[in-house]
Amino acid sequence: MAKRIDALLTQGQTISFEFFPPKSEAERATLEKTIAALEPLEPSFVSVTYRGGRESRQRTYDLVAQMASRGIFTPMAHLICVAHTRVELIEILESYAQAGVVNLMALGGDPPTHEGAVTGELTYAEELVALAREVGEFSIGVAAHPVGHPRSPSLSSDREHLAKKLQLADFAVTQLLFEAGDWSSLVAELQVMGVEKPVLPGIMPVTSLASIPRMAAMGSAVPDSLVAALENAHREGGDAAVREAGISLATELCRELLDLGVPGLHFYTLNLSTATREITERLGWAPERA
């Protein structure tokens, strides 16, 4: 029987990884190598991203269904609502249920801009969560933005929207965060609104200076203090020193989060294994298992 993430979160701290479906044979080979390297860590679950469009949807489905059938990981499929009709979303949800996939990350998604794109009938993730509840017995996660979604008019409105999503969903996973206080503040603000669902912090080490502006573009600006530490490392030892500093700082962040009692750690892997393995090895930590 497929494991549900909401149930896993009641059994102790989890460790989870995020992958994206490969677009080419080269990317497929890289992902297979990464999966083989991370499998010994026995993650509680893994998530597979989806950016919209029929091809991307099929790639996500194929990878998640394969993981479910092989039984090596407990998979969670990402699904966005903005580029689909209601009927299409129901068909997608039913196909996952038939494939034995019970875990879903429900996302609003960015409005499609390419020519011929379908305008979805649903706009917000909370609508997708409600639809998924109608279709099947899914364990459903939603996204959380520690410093607010880039399109939110204010932090308070972002928190109100997140609280509504979490009242319907089972748990949340944050966008990249770099300071433990961002997680604790987010959780405290949700608790004030009467929401105490698990919120998993999203972790990705900054291992190069070139990645800093990309993270900012994703809505996860790297704090000035962290940028300064990485720039200082580069002056002293070049790119290798930056990578070492990034791994060390991410490891320390994980330690702080674990001390705060986070329900688990969610690693954004970019389909690579080395940084994630190094951090977990330095932590000397594995999730408790029932």
DSSP code of 79?
E
Annotated active-site residue 32? The verdict is no
Closest CA to 130 of 118, 142, 119: 142
Question: How far apart (Å, rounded) are the C-alpha atoms in residues 104 and 49?
Answer: 11
What is the distance in angstroms between the CA of the first residue and the CA of the last residue of the chain? 15
DSSP code of 39?
G
Q: At what angle do helices 86-98 and 54-70 cross, to 10 degrees?
A: 20
Per DSSP bridges, beta strands 139-144 and 103-107 are parallel
Question: How far apart (Å, rounded) are the C-alpha atoms in residues 93 and 107?
Answer: 13
Contact 207, 276 (CB under 8 A): no
Residues, the chain: 290
Which phi and psi (to 5°) does residue 93 adopt? -65, -40
Which residues are the active-site residues?
Answer: 18
